[in-house]
Chains A and B, each alone.
Chain A
């Protein structure tokens, strides 16, 4: 593992994304449009918008970074650049951390723009600060990237990679407490959601909604998100083999 090669990879991945203006615009604009839509759906029920809008500030980066990372990594595998990189002094962790860090940076910008629009223009209110929201969103984005890096190992084509979205992401969105409070779900569903990482992001954001200062529960949830991200990244590293049949 080399800090220099990781840094070069971060710069390389960011340069690639910056060259792809359309993807960049979609990443930055679409969450804002969807949040605006939501604001008008819950017109007159700002309490619901406060709750759902805040959670979406974490869920959007998770979903976008999952998609972007899994397709980018798949391209790396298919184009032969992965095989080439693994024959150079670059370590697979340089590559994985390079992707994780680059997409986390983009996710922070994405969450920053979405938060600014949601708090300043759409009138979202929470007890906790935007900074805390951004921190949680960044951690969730890294979680999304790690998930994408791992699932891309099980896809042979971009079609397949995209199919992991309904399989891996949607169940987490359904069970994380976004559309129905987890406390009111059956114990079995609660147990399932407890082993799914997105529920902890949603939990942390719930705390931000209710309490002005970061709480112990929030820190615990954030730590769980980070731990999941690390474990998934390690699993993704295990799927990168220098030697193949």
Chain B
């Protein structure tokens, strides 16, 4: 299959309802292998639900999500897809190193891989500290380290940079691109538009619908504005389905 070598994630007419409400409405897109795709949208737009669908832990109503040519969540993908949840899902009553080594062990990776991942997220110096003593941003990085140990082909991150200082945020984005250069496909959600420029491709989600699926430059060209936040606003205001108060 030629397409499976270039397309990492394929979402086909995906519909998800939660609590009787439509959260994702007929989404269609593909994500190229070895790219950094930003999933942007306001809080409540369905970003987390979409990410969970890609990881294969979300019940879906209809449509299909395929990752690396396989149905999302299938057992074969569990070695290849790593997921960093929005709130740090690590064990507070273990040290940083113990967390990383536990998850490394599950993926069949060695302790040195775990220690390297801890260094990669900038926590090498405090690796023996208990996770509950760390700040929220540090805990988020422990959570990231526990995904990096998998050396995944697809890395899915839900708002990984919330609450981080600007230098660290830049470092993490550089790391994401370094991973992509080595062939990893990254899907990163964010509600901060200034992170959009760091992505190869943008998926703009609002109220469960995909407003845009293009590169940051193409988005600027199409909307005629330079600022991506402004561009997003333009898309919302001119979306055909959307009767916005500003139009009336």
Interface residues on A, range: 20 to 34
Q: Is the CB of B90 within 8 A of A81?
A: yes
Taken residue by residue from 68 to 98, chain B's Cβ proximity to chain A (1 for < 8 Å, 0 otherwise) reads as 0000010000110111010111111110001
Chain A contacts for B153, CB-based, 8 A? none
Per-residue contact bits, chain B 51-75, to A (CB 8 Å; 1 contact, 0 not): 0000111110000000000000100
Known contacts A242-B56, A244-B59, A89 near B87 by CB under 8 Å: no
Q: A64 vs B58: C-alpha distance in the bound complex, in angstroms? A: 34
- Asked whether A15 lies within 8 Å of B94 as measured between CB atoms, the reply is yes
Q: In the complex, what distance in Å separates the CA atom of A87 from the CA atom of B143?
A: 14
**A20 in the interface (beta carbon within 8 A):** yes
Q: How large is the interface on B (under 10, 10 to 19, 20 to 34, 35 or more residues)?
A: 20 to 34
> Which of A4, A16, A81, A83 has the most B CB atoms < 10 Å from its CB?
A81
Decide yes or no: A12 and B78 within 8 Å by CB, A80-B87, A83-B85 being known contacts. Answer: no
Distance A161 CA – B93 CA, assembled complex (angstroms): 20
**Nearest chain-A residue to B98 (Cβ)?**
A15
Contacts A88-B107, A243-B56, A243-B59 hold; do A16 and B91 have CB atoms under 8 A apart?
Answer: yes
* Residues in chain A near residue B89, CB distance under 8 A: 79-81, 83-84
A230 at the interface (CB under 8 A from B): no
Complex contacts, B107 vs chain A, CB 8 Å: 88-89
A90 touches B106 (CB 8 A): yes
Contact with B along A3-31 (1 / 0, CB 8 A): 01100110010011001100000000000
CB-contacts of A166-217 with B (<8 A): none
Residues of A within 8 A of B83 (CB): 84, 87
Q: Is A245 an interface residue (CB 8 A)?
A: yes
Q: Does B150 contact A (CB under 8 A)?
A: yes
Smallest CB gap from A90: residue in B: B106
A-B contact pairs, 17 of them (CB 8 A): A8-B105, A12-B94, A12-B98, A15-B94, A15-B98, A16-B94, A81-B90, A81-B91, A87-B56, A88-B150, A89-B78, A89-B106, A89-B108, A90-B106, A242-B57, A243-B56, A244-B58
The interface of chain A, by Cβ under 8 A from chain B, is 4-5, 8-9, 12, 15-16, 19-20, 79-81, 83-90, 242-245
Footprint of A on B, CB under 8 Å? Answer: 18-19, 55-59, 73, 78-79, 81-83, 85, 87-94, 98, 102-103, 105-108, 130, 146, 150
Closest 10 CB pairs of A and B: A80-B89, A8-B105, A84-B89, A16-B93, A80-B85, A89-B78, A81-B89, A87-B83, A12-B102, A245-B59
